[in-house]
Amino acid sequence: MATIYEVSRLAGVSLATVSRVVNNSDRVSARTREKVQAAMKELDYRPNSIAQSLATNRTNCVGVLVSELHGPVFGAMVSSIEKVLREAGKIAIFATGHNDRAKEEKGVEFLIDRSCDALILHIEALSDEFLQKCQASGAPLVFINRSIEGMEDHCIVLDNEHGGYLATKALLDLGHRQIAYIAGPLELGDARARLEGHKRALAEYGLAPDPALETVGDYHEAGGSRAMGELLDSGQAFTGVVCANDEMAAGAMSVIRSRGFSIPEDLSIVGFDNARWARYLYPRLTTVDYPVDQMGQMAGRWVLQNVYGLEGDPVQRAFRPELVVRESARAIGGDA
Amino acid sequence: MATIYEVSRLAGVSLATVSRVVNNSDRVSARTREKVQAAMKELDYRPNSIAQSLATNRTNCVGVLVSELHGPVFGAMVSSIEKVLREAGKIAIFATGHNDRAKEEKGVEFLIDRSCDALILHIEALSDEFLQKCQASGAPLVFINRSIEGMEDHCIVLDNEHGGYLATKALLDLGHRQIAYIAGPLELGDARARLEGHKRALAEYGLAPDPALETVGDYHEAGGSRAMGELLDSGQAFTGVVCANDEMAAGAMSVIRSRGFSIPEDLSIVGFDNARWARYLYPRLTTVDYPVDQMGQMAGRWVLQNVYGLEGDPVQRAFRPELVVRESARAIGGDA
DNA sequence: GTCGTTAGTGTAAGCGCTTTCATCCTGCAG
DNA sequence: CTGCAGGATGAAAGCGCTTACACTAACGAC
């Protein structure tokens, strides 16, 4: 691999001049520029990004910490973040936290150790204090789906409470009054918020939340199945169920079917996230859309603008989910 | 951020000594080591990885180029690669090629420019020559799902032909004789191989491939829907259909249902990939398992062993897909 | 003709680390 | 007491780049 030195020799100029044309900044005479470019071409010169980083103290790397790298939500998030960063010539490096305190800390440290210029974090377990300290001592931080006290303008958030409200309201509007709820793990803020929304919708219709109709899952298929099984076993009557995410809804649907009920004739179901495959289910799942692509994009854009000083469209920080009506929920007493 | 220099001063030793304890190599007396470690701790010293890379010419970065970052196949692949690399303290950086020649080239260059120690590539459009040249001039290359002439030992491959064979054979074994096929884009090697396998299975049962039952999709839901629509419109009789991937199978299932047929009573369907959500479909999709996690893991392990010289379990380079029997295909004339 | 400008270029000092080689002890054999 | 081996440490030269600063022409104004 040719170095800048060899280019400078071949072109008969100094290192500084070559560096100038590489960073096509500064004024370099047209003649010199051409000479240098010719030399670079001849040697197939490519700047060593490591050396550049050391000299400039800029790595052009953005660290991204998410719970998982794949799955309907995080896969899409990661993908959109990488895309917007890449288009600006920046590079994303990833770490996973699995909603675990220790792993999240390790992940953050890992990314900081790699000298990232900024960090995009989707985390659950780390305390506000830890994060404020990180921020103080190092790279700028952006948060997805979490609001940190005093750093609100670094947070790209989803109104999960509103989403939970919409999901349950969808069933209420269809005439359902006995509505079961399968929550996500309540140590997670979004799971709590979605549940709150559910309760607000009930309240709006003058219904008291019935603890017997409220179960907690794990955001995974297995938890959804288990929870659904318990609800069905409990003997409680209900005509609809809302699940705090699509994955659990998929698990619940299997169980409902395996018990001989049909959807939506016997039971309506509503999910949350609008996973790409939610419309592959049968019946196609009515759910709440989590605009995860957009939120990822905004996180990337925030970094581009606030860290790298690039221009661009404004960053939208707050998102409201919307209901996606499909066929898994229908009016009670509707023509079945 | 403290530098090695400050540590050396505080500990009262030279830079070289600090470096030695950091890389806990070489013989350093216990007393000195302790002094240095104390100083590091006091200053909260963390080595600057960029400077280390520059000095050692090792970045500990592995570039990964895939078609997409998300989706059932690539999401899982990326995730497992990142995991195995991370556990060894290496870092993965990603680029996407979208099966497009120009984008794949750009992606490879991008990764090379970042001084990756090795590249893991899942590519379609680049020629063998281009790749051989890359290999010659730079970082070691590993390929997933592609066999390159002369570099077979760098290739982690899936026997797609066998997979295609299994999918079709599953229907044949169930008594089906009129079997439609929805292929992936035929510019992709795996799509061609799966189709070949399909034909081999037919031949094994003494059946000639019927061009009227063979359509080409795009590996996406939309293409599956379109292709299924065409097959149904054509008026050709068939009792089963195999799709070259699950995504198209999902699209096909919607169309089948929307035309008033039921699965598997009227039509059996088999997919390929065993996407995580394939078992969420109704009926749960019979499909061919693409052991994408394992293959990603092997690619990572290959790098760990061959590039970084780490020990580890042997690398399995060739994989055979297996049939996953669920409910979307049933015996012809079976109790419906 | 002189002088101040200024565009264009070069010099050299880092960036924070690794690593070769030389140096310095310490201890032990003779 | 001398000499020497060998372990522990330090000095210093890079790794490939950027950039502050110095320098040189060339040019116009006076």
What is the per-residue pLDDT across A312-330, written as a single tens digit (0 to 9) for each?
Answer: 999 999 999 999 999 999 9
How many domains is chain A built from?
3
Q: Which nucleotide lies closest to A15 by the C1' atom and the CA atom?
A: C10
Closest CA relative to residue B195, chosen from B168, B230, B175, B223: B168
Using an 8 Å CB-CB cutoff, list chain A residues near B50: 50, 53-54, 59, 115
Contact A277 B275 (CB under 8 A): yes
Contact B232, B255 (CB under 8 A): yes
CB nearest to B115's CB, from A50, A71, A76: A50
Q: Which nucleotide lies closest to B16 by the C1' atom and the CA atom?
A: D10
Same domain, yes or no: A23 and A33: yes
Q: Is the link from the previous residue into B185 a cis peptide, with omega within 30 of 0?
A: no
Q: Please give the distance of CA A203 from its chain centroid, rounded to a whole number.
A: 30
CB nearest to A91's CB, from B78, B86, B114: B114
What is the distance in angstroms measured between the alpha-carbon CA of A10 and the sugar C1' of C20?
30
Contact B70 A68 (CB under 8 A): no
Same domain, yes or no: B180 and B262: yes
Range of the domain at B164: 160-289
Residues in chain B predicted with pLDDT less than 50, given as ranges, are 335-336
B52 domain-assigned:
no
Same domain, yes or no: A223 and A165: yes
DSSP A289-331: E--HHHHHHHHHHHHHHHTS----SPPP-EE--EEE--SS---
Same domain, yes or no: B179 and B32: no
Same domain, yes or no: B204 and B243: yes
| Amino acid code (one letter) for B238 | F
Contact A85, B79 (CB under 8 A): no
Same domain, yes or no: B223 and B200: yes
**How far is the alpha carbon of A208 from chain B, nearest alpha carbon, in Å?**
33
B332 domain-assigned:
no
pLDDT of B336: 43
- Look at phi and psi of residue B292 and say left if phi exceeds 0, alpha if psi is from -120 to 50, else beta: alpha
pLDDT of B334: 59
- Residue pLDDT, tens place only, A46-96: 999 999 999 999 999 999 999 999 999 999 999 999 999 999 999 999 999
Same domain, yes or no: B177 and B114: no
Tokens at B106, concatenated: 């750009």
Residues in chain A predicted with pLDDT less than 50, given as ranges, are 335-336
Which chain A residue shows the shortest CA-CA distance from B62?
A93
Same domain, yes or no: B111 and B183: no
Contact B48 A78 (CB under 8 A): no
**How far is the alpha carbon of B122 from chain A, nearest alpha carbon, in Å?**
16
Contact B171, B268 (CB under 8 A): yes
Closest CA relative to residue B127, chosen from B148, B106, B156, B98: B148
Using an 8 Å CB-CB cutoff, list chain A residues near B70: 70, 75-76, 78-79
The CATH number of residue B70's host domain is 3.40.50.2300
- Chain D bases having any atom below 7 Å from a protein CB: 7-20
**How far is the alpha carbon of B249 from chain A, nearest alpha carbon, in Å?**
9
Contact residues of A toward B, CB < 8 A: 46-51, 53-54, 59, 68-71, 75-76, 78-79, 82-83, 86, 91-96, 110, 112-115, 221, 250, 253-254, 257, 275-277, 280-282, 284
What is the distance in angstroms measured between the alpha-carbon CA of A14 and the sugar C1' of D20?
16
Same domain, yes or no: A128 and A198: no
Contact A49 B253 (CB under 8 A): no
Q: How many CB atoms lie within 10 A of CB A232?
A: 19
Element (H, E) at A214: strand A214-216
Among all protein residues, pick the one whose CA is nearest to the C1' atom of D16: A51
Contact A327, A336 (CB under 8 A): no
The CATH number of residue B27's host domain is 1.10.260.40
Same domain, yes or no: B192 and B269: yes
What is the distance in angstroms measured between the alpha-carbon CA of A302 and the sugar C1' of C7?
38
Same domain, yes or no: A149 and A165: no
φ, ψ of residue A18 to 5 degrees: the values are: -60, -45
**How far is the alpha carbon of A316 from chain B, nearest alpha carbon, in Å?**
24
Alpha-carbon distance of B45 to B40, in angstroms, equals 5
pLDDT of A336: 43
Contact B242, B252 (CB under 8 A): no
Q: Which nucleotide lies closest to A55 by the C1' atom and the CA atom?
A: C15
pLDDT of A334: 59
A55 domain-assigned:
no
Contact B277 A280 (CB under 8 A): yes
A52 domain-assigned:
no
B312 domain-assigned:
yes
Which residues make up the interface with nucleic strand D when CB must lie under 7 A? A 1, 3-5, 15-16, 19-20, 22-23, 25, 45, 47-48, 51-52, 54-56; B 12-17, 20, 26-29, 31-32, 51, 54-55, 57
A176 domain-assigned:
yes
What is the distance in angstroms measured between the alpha-carbon CA of B26 and the sugar C1' of D6?
14
B330 domain-assigned:
no
Q: Which of B104, B246, B255, B282 to mutate to test the interface with A (most CBs of A within 10 A)?
A: B282
Contact B78 A70 (CB under 8 A): yes
Alpha-carbon distance of B264 to B270, in angstroms, equals 10
A145 domain-assigned:
yes
Integer CA distances (angstroms), B204 to A151, B72, B162, B199, in order: 66, 31, 13, 8
CB nearest to A79's CB, from B69, B110, B113: B69
Same domain, yes or no: A171 and A206: yes
Contact A50 B79 (CB under 8 A): no
What is the distance in angstroms measured between the alpha-carbon CA of A150 and the sugar C1' of C5?
51
